Structure 1
């Protein structure tokens, strides 16, 4: 089974059973393949999966894999010691630790019914002496699992996790974002919000909304649910896609013409599904995105034409340089146009950052649409599971801001006239 064939061929909820044998370990995007299986299965559908055991010693292939992995780890440590970047390797296969495989399935929305490690190979004669030991190093895991909802909270079979424990674990995993946020607030204490306002999507009714998107997918990750609510209330949403997104890891070995166009094609499909009024593509090369005066002037002219009620842009402490470049360009464009910024608000959204929120939008009813739209960004989703990244962050924010289960998107809202000052708080040392 190849994931590039599975995705277009099988509509959602069209199968009762998916059998995966000899495939998962051969695709570089194994988690994405499992998500496509989940999407293709009907509710309560069954997954039968056979995957090679990481600790397997029962075949020559297994021993060869362990030797190759050891050699690779030595090479990577050598490069790290010399401060060299890791190579852009071609995928060479993988094997699975039982606990890691089951945790991945659980996170994606599979309930494991049975898991055995089997096929002792040349170690079979030892079964009579140490059967438990032989099972642990046998060739493969056999898993039987059933499909439950992908996102937690919408179904009793997949309830919301304990709020306090989830919040603590999320902040532990993303402690660098929270640390950067607190350091920024310590340097600029007057930026610390005093309260969190509840976002009213009716504020965009009959108005223009502008979204600045460094890469195709950031508009969904940072504010997709909020945009859906704005559109449902009659807002007209224009999205500017700044770069071609060609630096995605899944495109490292793709032909250049495909790498520079495929994510923009995905963005068009997302725009249709979400109901965006207009998409603007700058087609900037992802590997060399910098501030350019002509783009700043173009953005200033767009602001003047749209006079948007709301402008969405990445938060200024985002660790991705492309995100910071685009926010600085917005600050310069706003500095050039007094009329365009009058009455507008800039909503800084979070992707690779954590905003100090003063505005929060309840997107619980839009979480399913956000998931559906993210699936259209297959190129990015192969590399990172943004569906569950958004789930975990937005549930955390609901608990942190509203004190209850649900999904919230949080922003730092700033009058457009004040955004250049906000952007100026971050220089090279803050990034």
Structure 2
């Protein structure tokens, strides 16, 4: 579904960093790596103009290799968090600006967590969220957790949604009924930084964890969608 935005003749508007320039932004990542895959270019661009960027990582990511003996859940959580810190350092975000909620991977929808205090403290002017109808339940639940807290606070930051699993043709969803419009962000200036940051996630893109035949690994076909000189975003229209 999302891929059509880039590969068909109908192109969405192309924006520069000036269209998202704010003082404070929040990036919400359902799993460690989603922030870099979906928003790595935006993060680097925002940091280049002095924007304070905070990152909220919702789940612990430990279901990526559930059968590994080399990396049992605690060790895998620590590994994935260290990869996130390394990736975001490349993009210009200090480790002190990253908050790991460590909710159960695959079970975010079952957590009754109030993020109001955190959001009130961050007071973001823009929030980058996973696509509300992303095929992965953790992504949809992360969107709902943040949206619920913003509503309770009566906060109205600009909400920008990014696709992850909707790039997969076998899983893509129909978001035509969600009143969303798409646009593209030019990240050519920081593309190499984003590619370097993605490379930090060795547990997800290499055979670093080689003792779990059912372990997750991003395919080269999927990675192509995140290493283009543009990032695709969606926003709700009235």
What TM-score results when the alignment is normalised by the length of structure 2?
0.77
Q: 1:195 to 1:371 in 2, by over 3 A?
A: closer
Query: Which residue, 227, 232, 236 being the options, matches 1:410?
Result: 232
Preserved CA contact (<8 Å) 1:314 1:351: yes
Preserved CA contact (<8 Å) 2:106 2:138: no
Question: Match for residue 305 of structure 1?
Answer: 121
Where do 1:25-64 residues align within 5 Å?
none
Q: Does 1:257 align with 2:74?
A: yes
Unaligned runs of 5+ in 1: 1-174, 182-193, 396-406, 419-431
Query: Which residue, 182, 201, 211 being the options, matches 1:358?
Result: 182
Query: Which residue, 41, 46, 51 being the options, matches 1:235?
Result: 51
Question: Match for residue 111 of structure 2?
Answer: 292
Where do 1:274-285 residues align within 5 Å?
274-277=91-94, 278-285=97-104
Please give the alpha-carbon distance, in whole angstroms, between the structure 1 residues aligned to 2:133 and 2:230.
Answer: 20
Question: Match for residue 21 of structure 1?
Answer: none
Please give the alpha-carbon distance, in whole angstroms, between the structure 2 residues aligned to 1:345 and 1:320.
Answer: 23
Query: Which residue, 146, 150, 161 being the options, matches 1:348?
Result: 161
Structure ranking higher on relative contact order (CA contacts 8 Å, 6+ apart): 2
Deviation for aligned residue 1:375: 1.2
Where do 1:6-405 residues align within 5 Å?
196-202=12-18, 205=21, 207-249=23-65, 252-253=68-69, 254-277=71-94, 278-293=97-112, 295=113, 297=114, 299-338=115-154, 340-341=155-156, 344-353=157-166, 357-382=181-206, 383-385=216-218, 389-392=222-225, 395=228
Preserved CA contact (<8 Å) 2:29 2:58: yes
Deviation for aligned residue 1:386: 6.3
Please give the alpha-carbon distance, in whole angstroms, between the structure 1 residues aligned to 2:123 and 2:11.
Answer: 27
Question: Match for residue 210 of structure 2?
Answer: none
Deviation for aligned residue 1:394: 5.8
Answer with 1 or 2: which has the greater Rg: 1
Q: 1:381 to 1:390 in 2, by over 3 A?
A: closer
Deviation for aligned residue 1:413: 2.0
3-state SS of the aligned residue for 1:231? Answer: helix
Deviations 1:377-413 (A, max 9, x none): 1111124346763434664xxxxxxxxxxx2111112
Deviation for aligned residue 1:272: 1.8
Please give the alpha-carbon distance, in whole angstroms, between the structure 2 residues aligned to 1:376 and 1:251.
Answer: 22
Deviation for aligned residue 1:308: 1.3
Deviations 1:164-189 (A, max 9, x none): xxxxxxxxxxx6x669x9xxxxxxxx
Q: Mean Cα displacement is larger for which, 352-361 or 253-262?
A: 352-361
Deviation for aligned residue 1:244: 1.1
**What is the aligned residue count?**
211
Q: 1:206 to 1:291 in 2, by over 3 A?
A: same
What TM-score results when the alignment is normalised by the length of structure 1?
0.44
Please give the alpha-carbon distance, in whole angstroms, between the structure 2 residues aligned to 1:236 and 1:251.
Answer: 38
3-state SS of the aligned residue for 2:102? Answer: strand
Preserved CA contact (<8 Å) 2:28 2:56: yes
3-state SS of the aligned residue for 2:203? Answer: helix
Please give the alpha-carbon distance, in whole angstroms, between the structure 2 residues aligned to 1:357 and 1:379.
Answer: 34
| Higher fraction of helix | 1
Deviation for aligned residue 1:271: 2.3
Preserved CA contact (<8 Å) 2:15 2:184: yes
Preserved CA contact (<8 Å) 2:16 2:186: no
